[in-house]
A and B are shown apart, each in its own frame.
Chain A
Amino acid sequence: GQQLNQSPQSMFIQEGEDVSMNCTSSSIFNTWLWYKQDPGEGPVLLIALYKAGELTSNGRLTAQFGITRKDSFLNISASIPSDVGIYFCAGTDSWGKLQFGAGTQVVVTP
């Protein structure tokens, strides 16, 4: 089956710094979604990408759907303490199922 690799596994950054994470796949995905999960909560949808090459922003978040449809990145600019959490990429495969990356743990220090 398709494998979705997310990196980095964790990031320790200072408040105000930018954050970048990415996901790659061995096969093509039809959509890319980025979620944030706080401890003990369900994931919250941040950005959805539907077209290859699409670049979408949501406040301080920017994500892109790679041209090859096998990768996507998420950037967070000027991080703040509430950005702490686990960020998951997810891709929709050819069967319409959502596959998740392993997650990127973001820790923001003041």
Chain B
Amino acid sequence: GAVVSQHPSRVICKSGTSVKIECRSLDFQATTMFWYRQFPKQSLMLMATSNEGSKATYEQGVEKDKFLINHASLTLSTLTVTSAHPEDSSFYICSATKQGYEQYFGPGTRLTVT
């Protein structure tokens, strides 16, 4: 199998606070992990690509100081949304690859910033 988990599934935070989202590959070691953002009724937008032990590669327009990514091991990547604002409210989804190009997605995290 290729199971990816995310925690938490839902989080509500106040404006100005930081939120950490965890992404874990449960039954395989992920060579690469990805973080996506999805707005209602829209497709997935890649935010960054993360490899274990190295700095994440961010897509154009994504603020690396706002969306901190740490990839501590081959099974864990974290996304921290710093100083969150209401416009950061979204559905955040991670994915991981075992080998090749097939990406396996986590169940997503619904972030609401009040």
Contacts and interface: CB of A to CB of B under 8 A. Distances in A.
A10 B49 CA distance: 30
A31 B108 contact: no
Interface footprint category on B? 20 to 34
B101 A45 contact: no
Interface of B: 4, 6, 34, 42-44, 46, 49, 91, 93, 95, 100-108, 110
Nearest to B6: A42
Contact of B104 (A45, A88, A97): A45
B108 A101 contact: no
Contacts of B4: 42
A33 B101 contact: yes
B108 A40 contact: yes
Nearest to A91: B101
Interface string A92-110: 1000111011110000000
Interface string A35-56: 1000011111100101000000
A7 interface: no
A74 B105 CA distance: 20
